Amino acid sequence: MSLKLVFFGTPDFAVHSLKEIYNSNFILECVVTNPDKKSGRGRKIKKSAVKNFCIEKNIKTLQPEEFTETEFILKLKRSKADLYVIVAFKKLPKLVWEIPPLGAINLHASILPNYRGAAPINWAIINQQKETGITTFYINEKIDSGKIILIEKIQIDKRETYDSLKEKMILKSRVTIISTLNEIVKGNNGHKQVYNKNLKLAPKLNKFNTRLDWSAPLDKIDSKIR
């Protein structure tokens, strides 16, 4: 069985998974990414990393302003994809992810259920974790809460920075995304996440939660800088 896929992603992190799918035996029907934006003093049009890859490879691209747009929904349905694959993208409404018969999967940069949220790589370092990983799971109505398909663990070095850990994540994600799709072909329907009272979350970074507390222990200051 060769799955027909629609891929959703925007930044460079997502490009690496997209590239693996593009070079695989799976059928890539189209790619959904953020709309082009004007940026800088010259207000030049800036395309996402995923969009640039799609232009290079001549892959059909959809860039909806709103996920509820009638024309966008129709185009997704016309693709007749078996499964949607989401990597580093916005939260999708049920109206979208319930379209394909096999549902939609997401690749997340932590060992779920820990570090749900927008900045899992950052918070794993800030909280001085020794281990993190990549989790693939089926999407449901709650953020990062669906049934888990695969978990691949990654060791965090003592001097790890965001950039170095992100590179480890990218290398691992390229293998994990294809392994996940092969698992789905085999009929892997995932297993429920195991909850506990001490879950660590990964909220979006802002000027408040990234502020340094100079009275904190040196190791905590150091980990926040890294």
pLDDT at residue 32, as a whole number: 98
- Residues of the chain falling short of pLDDT 70: 1, 41-42
Contacts of 63 (CB under 8 A, 6+ apart): 32, 33, 34, 35, 36, 51
Contacts of 67 (CB under 8 A, 6+ apart): 90, 92, 93, 95, 96
Which pLDDT tens digit goes with each residue over 192-222?
998 888 899 999 999 999 999 999 999 999 9
pLDDT at residue 154, as a whole number: 98
Q: How far is CA 112 from CA 66, 108, 120, 192, in A?
A: 28, 8, 10, 10
pLDDT at residue 224, as a whole number: 96
Peptide bond into 217 cis (omega under 30): no
pLDDT at residue 45, as a whole number: 84
Tokens 């506990």 found at: 196
pLDDT at residue 42, as a whole number: 66
DSSP one-letter string for 60-118: -EE--SSTT-HHHHHHHHHHT-SEEEEES-PPPPHHHHTSSTT-EEEEESSSTTTTBSS
- Dist. CA 54–CA 60, nearest whole Å: 7
